[in-house]
Amino acid sequence: MRIPTGLRDRLMEANGRLYTLSVDPGHRVYGEKLIMRGGGEWREWSVTRSNPAAYLAVGGSAFPIKRDSRLLYLGAASGTTASHFSDIVDQGTVHCLEFSARSFRDLVRICGRRGNMIPLMGDATRPESFAFAVGDVDIVYQDVAQKGQATILADNMDAFNAGRGMLAVKARSEDVTASPHDVFVEAHRTLVSRGLRVVECRTLDPHEKDHAMIVVER
């Protein structure tokens, strides 16, 4: 497991587990373990419930998020992973987009406790519909379960002038009949065709079956 340079004050490995330093001490988001170290409270970042945690656990080395990043999260669901991003970007902002009304209710509750999380309800395939609330960002992170995942990431990076992106590719959501390898290759090809450079592509087995993380930059 690699802890990115510059994030050792926000990310920690202990006993083979990954933790983020909480910006909301005393409160759990999804029943995660809390530990005290160095005068701060650290939240376990589950590698089986969060794709970027799984990416770091399998040795991902191109994690682009920094403490002052302005981040757009597509498919934030109820806020599990987004809350860990909130811990990491303690000097930045996480714009959290979610389409499902049910998940959005939980997301709003979590954002209400964290000053750097902004909830947005909308459709990731239509960035123009929520652009007024976001502005330019440094990074787009995408975790949506539908077809055209690579195109959605590229469209949003273009719309918000993002220099970097992370795509959690869900092979079975993209094409249930194709092999995951072929889905990952096609996503790679699509991103390159949109003028993006693929910095790293890693499958997330055994933590997330038929998933891969692709990190890109301009």
Report the CATH number that the domain containing residue 98 is assigned in CATH.
Answer: 3.40.50.150
What are the distances in angstroms from CA 110 to CA 22, 46, 65, 74, 115?
13, 17, 21, 16, 10
Q: Is 130 within the bounds of a domain?
A: yes
Residue 24 counted as domain residue: no
Domain coverage including residue 154:
47-217
Q: Is residue 30 situated within a structural domain?
A: no
- Does residue 117 fall inside a structural domain? yes
The confidence score (pLDDT) of residue 203 equals: 98
Examine residue 25 and state whether it is found in any structural domain, yes or no.
no
Torsion sign, CA atoms 213, 209, 53, 82: positive
66 within domain boundaries:
yes
Domain count, the chain: 1
Q: Residue 29 domain-assigned?
A: no
Q: Per residue of the chain (218 residues), what is the pLDDT tens digit?
A: 888 889 999 999 999 999 999 999 999 999 999 999 999 999 999 999 999 999 999 999 999 999 999 999 999 999 999 999 999 999 999 999 999 999 999 999 999 999 999 999 999 999 999 999 999 999 999 999 999 999 999 999 999 999 999 999 999 999 999 999 999 999 999 999 999 999 999 999 999 999 999 999 99
Q: Is residue 73 in a domain?
A: yes
Backbone angles phi, psi at 139, to 5 degrees: -140, 140
